[in-house]
Chain A
Amino acid sequence: MIEIKNLHANIDGREILKGINLTVNKGEVHAIMGPNGSGKSTLAQVIAGREDYEVTEGEILFNGKNLLELSTEARACEGIFLAFQYPVEIPGVSNTTLLKNALNSIRKYRGEEELDAMEFLTLVKKKMSLVELSEDLLRRSVNEGFSGGEKKRNEIFQMAVLQPKLAILDETDSGLDIDALRIVANGVTKLKSPENATIVVTHYQRLLNYIIPDFVHVLYNGKIIKSGDKSLALELENKGYDWVIEEAAELV
């Protein structure tokens, strides 16, 4: 589904990603772990198309298309969804406005009919129950006055409505209490299908108790230094990152 080859990216002239190689196939869940500042969020943002980052080398293919040539919105329409680490508040824009515009823009891109108000409402109500959000949220401004947990649940709710092919969850577990974590993880798990894929970017393995990864990658200093299966996440939880970093250093 997505093929990242030798990806290098800068921000303000500083190199953050230093040659990432990663392939994710449909039906798979990949976890990207690593200490703070290793480039995890940068990778998520570069895939989503954040313009602050400059890609200096490498390529990203998404279902055969050169992703780096597409605008942020075209990437979303192609089926990429980024669940933000810090969802922004947008006063004056209701969740309904956001979702309706997003959904219809994506449908239009794919040559599908736009949904009318009734169809939209029916769909949205069905998806809300998935993350246990109440309907009055729809009228509220996007993320404005939301608690940390509500913001993250709102991200997963948007994901449920937009039904991406590739979901990237950027530190979705950070700042969540255990109940909210369970709700979010359940939502993500229910949205999993053999046709879509998920990249979970996380610092801790806690979320991976609920969303079981097929592959775990360790990102350090802008490179993936180790990959393994879900047991790697547990090992990292127990032993920390130092041993992986040392192991990688020895290889060089």
Chain B
Amino acid sequence: MNSSAELKELFIKQFQSFENTLNGEKELPLHQIRKDAIEEFSNLNFPSIKDEEWKYTNINPLLSKTFKPADSIPEVDPEFINKYLFDKKEFITLVFVNGYFSKEFSDVDSLPKGLILETISEAIKKHPELVLNYFSKTASAEKNIFTALNTAFADHGTFVFIEENSIIERPIQILYVTKADDIFVSPRNLFLISKNAQVKIIETYAGFGDRSYFTNQVTEFIVNDNAVVEHVRIQDEQLNAFHISTLSVDLEKASNFSSYNINFGGSLVRNNVNTKFNGGFAECRLNGLYVTQGSQFVDNHTSIDHAKPNCLSNELYKGILNDTSRGVFNGKVFVRQDAQKTNAYQQNKNILLSNDAIVNTKPQLEIFADDVKCSHGATVGQLDKDQLFYLKARGIQEKEAKAILIYAFASDVVHSISMLQVRDHLEALLAKKLL
């Protein structure tokens, strides 16, 4: 067992080794951001259950492990990769293995006009101003130890820039694959969507191998005026993996953002989804699904900040928990004093498939404006006995009948995904997990 302080020491030491591998890149302005981040990291402490934000989520299992930074690309079975990839003709495809961009598995040729797509380390060289204007702003390293750690090691990840008025028809799929080898990876994405632009982005996180690993991930999104974004995040890590992520989204005037946060894997998972309306008449849909079994622990913390008037947010998170697994949902919706005519709806629904599964749910609504429509609610229940009997009385085996009902419960989270291939893929992952 490490003490928290020892573990911090270790990460800081690892940062120094990482720094030494950077050579010329040390002179780039990004590196100053990294150095500030490690400084911030060293001043912060790992959260404990005494912190309100981590009340139900004990990260000691993570802290008791030692991980080293990934330093090379391992061998990986193409079949494993292909399981997660969509048709490359229809999707722009980026694959990272242990954080490293894999040319072999990616397909980024003949990109459409209006799209700049780079690894983050290339982007900082080719488009320094663009990157530096936004990097580490939406998701600040300040006061967040995991974001600080990710920022300090930020080297691998994806930079997307969509020019004004550009509609990118081919969705962009980014797959991060990690070999479970007691390593940690720090994927870092920056997605800048200009005015009137449209894009669909899918991030997938998966792993293979028997040992443990730690994905500490941050995605920053700037969605400018009138832009439309569909974002799907599929977390299917190994069952012995640790996964901590932050998705931070700035929504400008009349923009439209749909998020699908789908979780199947991981032993200890914490996702932070933070969205903020910086302009009026914007829309934000947060959809989430967590399907857990064994001793998995999945925590989703979301926040929606209605800082401006006339915006709509609609949030639906659903959980299906089996065995002794645990789920946490904490959804905050702030409606600021100026945010009149806000519509904010939030729902968290859970099905417990065993007596030992637990979910802690806390929908939170803080309203400071007076002319708003808001609702929130949470439910925890079991599969409906009458529905189950009905299906079985038609000859459907119990296991299948349960799977059908669970799929029906989960389906309204994913049914509005516009990409059929993605829906089918999720359906297959869900079926695999349930049967």
Contact = CB atoms under 8 A, between A and B. Distances in A.
| Range class of the A interface residue count | 20 to 34
B386 interface: yes
A1 to B, nearest CB: 18
A102 B389 contact: no
A102 B387 contact: no
Chain A CB within 10 Å, residue with most, of B386, B391, B394, B407: B394
Contact of A92 (B389, B392, B412): B412
Interface in A88-115: 88, 90-93, 97-99, 101-103, 105-106, 109
B392 A71 contact: yes
A98 B395 contact: no
B408 A72 contact: no
A90 B387 CA distance: 6
A49 B392 CA distance: 9
B408 A98 contact: no
A87 B404 CA distance: 17
A88 B395 contact: no
B392 A87 contact: no
Interface in B371-390: 384, 386-387, 389-390
B408 A76 contact: no
B400 interface: yes
A71 B398 contact: yes
B405 A102 contact: no
A241 to B, nearest CB: 29
Interface string B395-420: 11110110011011101100000000
Contact of A73 (B396, B405, B408): B396
A188 interface: no
B276 to A, nearest CB: 32
A73 B386 CA distance: 14
A12 to B, nearest CB: 14
B1 interface: no
A77 interface: yes
A92 B403 CA distance: 12
B404 A76 contact: no
A158 B394 contact: yes
Contacts of A76: 392-396
A90 B395 contact: no
Contacts of B390: 84, 87-88, 90, 142
Contacts of B393: 48-49, 72-73, 75-76, 81-82, 84
Contacts of A97: 404
Contact of B408 (A82, A84, A93, A101): A93
Contacts of B408: 90-93, 141
Nearest to B410: A92
A50 interface: yes
Contact of A88 (B387, B396, B398, B407): B387
Q: Which of A71, A73, A90, A99 has the most CB of B within 10 A?
A: A73
A7 interface: no
A157 to B, nearest CB: 12
B392 A101 contact: no
Given A88-B390, A101-B404, A77 B411 contact: no
A171 B395 CA distance: 21
A145 to B, nearest CB: 15
A92 B384 CA distance: 13
Contact of A101 (B389, B396, B412): B396
Contact of A98 (B394, B407, B409, B412): B394
B383 to A, nearest CB: 11
A162 interface: yes
Contacts of A103: 395
A158 B393 CA distance: 11
Contacts of B386: 88
Contacts of B391: 90, 93, 98, 101-102
A25 to B, nearest CB: 23
Contacts of A91: 408
Contact of B401 (A73, A82, A109): A73
Contacts of A99: 394
Contacts of A90: 387, 390-391, 405, 408
Contacts of B396: 73, 76, 98, 101-102, 105
Contact of B395 (A51, A87, A105): A105
Contacts of B387: 88, 90
B370 to A, nearest CB: 35
Given A72-B389, A82-B393, A92 B411 contact: yes
Contacts of A162: 394-395
Given A77-B395, A90-B390, A105 B400 contact: yes
Contacts of A101: 391, 394, 396, 400, 404
Interface in A33-90: 48-51, 71-73, 75-77, 81-82, 84, 87-88, 90
Interface string B223-250: 0000000000000000000000000000
* Leading 9 A-B pairs by shortest Cβ distance: A92-B408, A76-B395, A102-B394, A72-B392, A106-B395, A73-B392, A93-B408, A102-B395, A88-B386
Given A90-B408, A98-B396, A105-B397, 9 more contacts: A72-B393, A73-B392, A76-B395, A88-B387, A90-B390, A92-B409, A98-B404, A105-B400, A162-B394
Interface of A: 48-51, 71-73, 75-77, 81-82, 84, 87-88, 90-93, 97-99, 101-103, 105-106, 109, 141-142, 158, 162
30 contacts: A48-B393, A71-B392, A72-B393, A73-B397, A73-B398, A76-B392, A81-B393, A82-B393, A84-B393, A88-B384, A88-B386, A88-B387, A90-B387, A90-B390, A90-B405, A91-B408, A92-B408, A92-B409, A93-B408, A97-B404, A98-B391, A99-B394, A101-B394, A102-B396, A103-B395, A105-B396, A105-B400, A106-B395, A142-B390, A162-B394
